[in-house]
Each structure stands twice: as structure tokens, then as C-alpha cells.
Structure 1
Amino acid sequence: MNQHFYRKGEDLCKEPLHYTMSGLDNIYLKNGFEWEWEDGEKYLSVKDMDGLHRAIGLHIVLARKAPTGKELRFLRNELNMSQADLAKVLSVSDQSVARWEKGHCEANGGAVFALRTIYLLSLVPVEERAALLDGLVERLKRLADADETSDSIVLQFKDNKWRDPALLAA
């Protein structure tokens, strides 16, 4: 299925550009690019390429379906990881990652979930990651300590949102 991307506030092109520089076959740009000439040669100029790649990565990790081999390679490249690096983080062999990326077999659900989580965390500024992870660990600890003897779910409306008091900060 083709994926179309565009920059808000810019006019859309009549014919979307097939963007293959990402290594993916199904990416089309509706705007945010222009053709430039230099020394008689035509070059593609993409506005905010980092932002475009972030949008593509988010689309992949937030999609319901498991990423294709090419999409896994795209995410790994966006994370600046080698196949060996990713294999180590996911506790699989280098060959497993290579087979996934070549489309010889699908990544298992746990590996896909971990890769999605790693990619999403990579988008959080470095200085904020520790606090985010500490908060998640604390929430999980409180959840583990919560009273599990009741089947009742008790929720509380606080700050204009429904919340589970077991997950609220102490």
C-alpha cells in the first residue's frame, strides 16, 4: 500500500513524487520538495529530510501491521544501528535480523514490539529519557503492588481526565 506524505500549509502537487531515497518502495511525497539544477544536472531537494524520515518512522511503528523487511531496515538505519547492534539489543542473532530485512521470514512479535519501543524512545530528547523511563518503572512497580484481589476497576476523574488511581503518582 502506498503511503503519501505532505507538509501542512504547502500546496499539494498534482502528481506525487515517488520517494525512493528512504529505501522503501511505497513512499510518495505530495509536497515539501523541489527540483534544483546545478551544473546542468537536476537534483531533488527535500525540505526537512529528518522530519520526513521521522514521519515515515512513526507511520511504520504506529501501524497495526508488522513492519516489512525494508521497513525494519529503514528503522534500524534511522537508529544508526548495524544488524549486529540491533540483534544484540533484541537478543537475537545477526542472521535473524538479516533474514527479517531480506523478507525471508517475519520478525517475532516481541522483537517487533521492542523495535517499535526503541524507535519511539529515540524520538524523546536525551535529557528527558531518564525521567520518562523512571516514571514508567515507578508506574509498573505501583501496578505490581496494587491490590489484585478485586475484579472491580475503580477510576477517578481528575484534571479533566479519567485515571486509574493505582497509576497516579504517590
Structure 2
Amino acid sequence: MKIKNYRFEGFGFPVIFDELPAVKVRGELVPDVDFDKYAKPLIEHICARQGVPLSGNQVKFIRNYFGMSLREFAKMLNVTHQSVMRWEDFTISAAHIDVNTEIVFRLIILKQLGSAKDCFGSLMEKLEALTTFEKKSNYKNINSIHITK
């Protein structure tokens, strides 16, 4: 069984699935999300294809994916753990990461995933949008991520 066009909030930020496996529980169809299956592609999408700043929940999702403490994650990114904590406090809105820091952040994460070469071209296309967004945005509306087959 599958659910079509499902908005899933279980990652800490909205993800729209064209089709999502489902199971019946007490007669109701509920999503059957394999977090391990979707985590890496989601992070690749967030870091390489998302043309808007990272949200606080996305930063936290990425950090948790790597199983790192605030200090370990901050050290990997060459920032303070207070910076990471401040970014994560923005939850669903843009994390207010300096645009240059965010670019480096995305590249480091893609490298850690082993995806840097595959995603680099896509990231470069989005950097222009990201720097434009930084200049004119009120940081209120971060769109859902849409997952297709």
C-alpha cells in the first residue's frame, strides 16, 4: 500500500513524498517511513539542491545523522558549538548562518557523505539563488522538500 502526495513532518521539516509506503494500523493508513533509506538523499538534497538557507531543524537533522554532539559537529565545521546551538534554535525558519559559512557547511557535509563530486554542479547552481535570497529575504518562508520517485 502507498500514500500519494503525502506531507511528512517526521524529519523535523516538511518533506512531500509523491508516493510513500504505508501500513494499516487500526484500520487507518499510516506512513511507513524508513529513516535510514531517506536520510542520506534528503541531506544531499538539502545541501546541494535547496536554493534557500538551511533551517535550524535541517542543521539538527544533519548533525544527528552523523551522530555528533554540538561540539563535535562544530569542530568539523570549524565554528563554535554556540553557533551550532544558535542555528538549531531557529527550528523551522532559516538558521541565519552567514552565507559564506553556509556554503562551506554544505560542501563539508557533501564531502562527508561521499557525494561532493556528484552534487557539486547542482550546488554551484543554487549558490547564486542562496546569495540572492540572503540579500532580500525575511527568512519566514522555507518551502517543503518534494521527493519524487
TM-score, normalised relative to structure 2: 0.60
Match of 1:57? 43
1:49-128 maps to which residues of 2 (within 5 A)?
49-62=35-48, 63-103=50-90, 106-124=96-114
Match of 2:9? 20
Amino acid in the other structure paired with 2:32: S
**Identity between Structure 1 and Structure 2 (%):** 23
CA distance in 2, matches of 1:59, 1:86: 20
Unaligned runs of 5+ in 1: 1-10, 133-170
CA deviations over 1:46-85 (Å, ceiling 9, x no partner): 2x53232222212211222221111111111222222111
Report how far residue 41 of structure 1 moved.
8.5
Match of 2:137? none
Q: How many residues align?
A: 112
- Tell whether the 8 Å contact from 1:17 to 1:30 is kept in structure 2 after alignment: yes
- Tell whether the 8 Å contact from 1:36 to 1:45 is kept in structure 2 after alignment: no
Higher share in helix: 2
Unaligned runs of 5+ in 2: 118-149
Larger Rg, first or second structure (1 or 2): 1
- Tell whether the 8 Å contact from 2:55 to 2:95 is kept in structure 1 after alignment: no
